[in-house]
A = this chain, B = another copy of it.
Amino acid sequence: MKKEIDNKLNLKNIKPTAMRQLVLQVLTEQKTAISLPELEQKFEKADKATLYRTLKTFQEHQLIHSIEDGSGSLRYALCEDFCTCEPEHLHVHFLCNKCGKTYCMKDLPVPQPDLPNGFEFSSANFVVKGICSNCKK
């Protein structure tokens, strides 16, 4: 739905260019987080740098969040509407060792461990690895 795409962009104060609409379209279609190289392949002919900067813009405006899953490339996924990317909204991610897909476990908040004296929590990246339900059966 074209209208919804533009709506989302407007809500996050991102000027809805053609490129950005296309990228957001792709992002919305994903059930798992996507990397820049993967995103690149979704287009017949698209420039890496432009996609890179598009993702960067999206992230700066908290439309998407990035996940360091250790797979060699950063992965990106849509934030939930109410998300402000603050520590209390962080969730666990799951990387499947078999299919390589990275899932947002939106229902699993990242626990905030008791750090030693003097250490200050500001953010966290919690990636669980294993076999996903799809690869399991």
Contact = CB atoms under 8 A, between A and B. Distances in A.
A126 B129 contact: no
A49 interface: no
Number of copies of this kind of chain in the complex: 2
A131 B127 contact: no
Interface string A96-132: 0100000001011001011111111111111111111
26 contacts: A68-B68, A68-B69, A68-B70, A68-B127, A92-B113, A94-B115, A107-B116, A108-B113, A111-B113, A113-B126, A115-B130, A116-B133, A117-B133, A119-B130, A119-B133, A121-B128, A121-B130, A122-B130, A123-B129, A124-B126, A124-B127, A124-B128, A125-B125, A125-B127, A125-B129, A126-B127
